[in-house]
Structure 1
Amino acid sequence: MDLVAHYNQLFTESAEAISNNNYVIDPKIDAENDNRFGITLLIRPPESIKNKIQSFLNELKKEDTAQYYYPNSDMHITVLSIISCHDGFSLSQINPSAYIAVIHENLIHLKNLEINLNGITASNSTIMIQGFPTNESLNSFRDSLRKAFKKTNLEQSIDSRYTLFTAHISVCRFRKHITDTTKLVSLLEKYRNEDFGKFAVNQLELVYNDWYQRKEKTQLLHQFRIQK
């Protein structure tokens, strides 16, 4: 998959949708009874990159304070959503150590991975930082995990929503009416090619999390060190 072409198409289509007020507001962001939980394997970018992203978000906030902006603590790149968030799921229903063992067995496929965070894109509901892995090991690792989990009897819903091949960071979700769609699209275009930095992936986290990866609702299950 050509990530540049994918991100470009996504931005073009989404900018048009936002301009025409065809964006989607997430009604569950502030819901107290949102019980959607799941299991996710993810990458955390370093604080230096998160701070650069916050500078971008501060520009967005000047135009529209009503939207949902991710704090540094919640920013992440999803490697795989192993159990997609859904109502009624709880950690007591699974044995986390079994999932940890499968991931450990496949870490060999993840080698010398760096991710370049350059530019922004959007969907009709979310603003994202574009991530570009510097080699093919992330998708090789994902594919090996897909095959490994399918061979087990462990509960999993990998790729049930869509097949993940990007390395983006979601940083803003629409939760209210957008104040000025023209200004928003103009600001997004300004940051289309903004360089947010590059980092080496040294560890992964397996977490039990809610839909938005809020720190207060996330439980770290295991930290995996990546061998050089």
Structure 2
Amino acid sequence: MNLAEHYNKLYRDSIAKIANGNYEIDRLIDSDADNRFGITLVIRPDAATNHSIQEFLAEVKTIEPDQYYYQNADIHITLMSVISCYDGFDLKDINVQDYINFIKKVLARHQSFKIQFKGITASPSCILIQGFLTDTLNEIRDDLRKTFKNSDLQQSIDERYTIQTAHSTVIRFRSELKNQAAFIDLIEKYRNFDFGTFEVKQLELVYNDWYQRERFVKKLHTFSLAID
């Protein structure tokens, strides 16, 4: 996949929908009845990159204060949705240690790698930071796919889609945009902004809700990658 082309197409298509009022408002983000949970292997950006993202979000908040903004603790890249969130999933349904052992075996074959957060893209329901990755990330993903599919562990890898990007969702639409034109202008201003490059030395396996909110996330294990 050519990531730049993928992000560009996603941006053009989605911004056109947002400009026409055809964006999607998330009706579940404030719901107490949302019981979608799963387990995910995630990457966390470093503090400097998160700081750049929060400066961007602070500027957007002055225009659209009522949207949903990710806090530093919630910002992540999904390396792999091991069990995609579904209604009613509970940790009691699995043996967590089995998953830790499988992932640890895979990661022992791989080293740390870098990700660059540069530019903004969008979907009809959210705004995302564009992540550009090295071959190592997708090699880890491919290795995990093979390992889990040869196991009898519960998993739903690639059932929704085959993950190939390294984006991070940072804004979700929770209500109608009140300053649509100014919002789009600001997104365009940050379209190619460099938020930073960071080395991925650790990965987290987490039990999480759909939005990866800190109050619901339970860290199951932290894996360290060998440094080249």
Q: So what's the TM-score if we normalise by structure 2?
A: 0.98
Q: Does 1:11 align with 2:50?
A: no
Whether contact under 8 Å (1:206, 1:223) holds in the other structure is: yes
Question: What corresponds to 2:190 in structure 1?
Answer: 191
1:178 aligned counterpart, secondary structure: coil
Q: Provide Cα deviations, 1:88-123, integer angstroms capped at 9, x if missing partner.
A: 100000001111111111114432410011011100
Single out whichever of 73-82 and 179-188 deviates more from structure 2. 179-188
Shift, 1:47, TM fit: 1.5
Shift, 1:160, TM fit: 1.4
Single out whichever of 174-183 and 194-203 deviates more from structure 2. 174-183
2:13 aligned counterpart, secondary structure: helix
Question: What corresponds to 2:151 in structure 1?
Answer: 152
Question: What corresponds to 1:174 in structure 2?
Answer: 173
Whether contact under 8 Å (1:36, 1:89) holds in the other structure is: yes
Structure 1 CA distance for aligned equivalents of residues 166 and 213 of structure 2: 19
Whether contact under 8 Å (1:109, 1:144) holds in the other structure is: no
Question: What corresponds to 2:219 in structure 1?
Answer: 220
Shift, 1:37, TM fit: 0.4
Structure 1 pair 59/101, CA: closer, same or farther in 2 (3 Å)? same
Structure 1 pair 118/109, CA: closer, same or farther in 2 (3 Å)? farther
Question: What corresponds to 1:92 in structure 2?
Answer: 92
Shift, 1:159, TM fit: 1.2
Question: What corresponds to 2:31 in structure 1?
Answer: 31
Structure 2 CA distance for aligned equivalents of residues 41 and 138 of structure 1: 12
User: Number of residues paired by the alignment?
Assistant: 227
Shift, 1:20, TM fit: 0.5
CA RMSD of aligned residues (A): 0.9
Counting aligned pairs with the same residue, the percent is 52
Runs of at least 4 residues off by over 6 Å: none
Q: Provide Cα deviations, 1:134-166, integer angstroms capped at 9, x if missing partner.
A: x20100110110111011111001111111100
2:215 aligned counterpart, secondary structure: helix
Q: Provide Cα deviations, 1:10-41, integer angstroms capped at 9, x if missing partner.
A: 00001100000010000000001111100000
Shift, 1:189, TM fit: 0.7
- Counterparts in 2 of 1:36-75, with a 5 A limit? 36-75=36-75
Structure 2 CA distance for aligned equivalents of residues 211 and 109 of structure 1: 30
Question: What corresponds to 1:202 in structure 2?
Answer: 201
Structure 1 pair 88/16, CA: closer, same or farther in 2 (3 Å)? same
- Counterparts in 2 of 1:132-151, with a 5 A limit? 132-133=132-133, 135-151=134-150
What stretches of structure 1 of length at least 5 have no aligned partner? none
Structure 2 CA distance for aligned equivalents of residues 117 and 226 of structure 1: 20
Q: Does 1:130 align with 2:133?
A: no
Structure 1 CA distance for aligned equivalents of residues 205 and 17 of structure 2: 34
Q: Which one-letter code corresponds to 2:170 in the other structure?
A: V
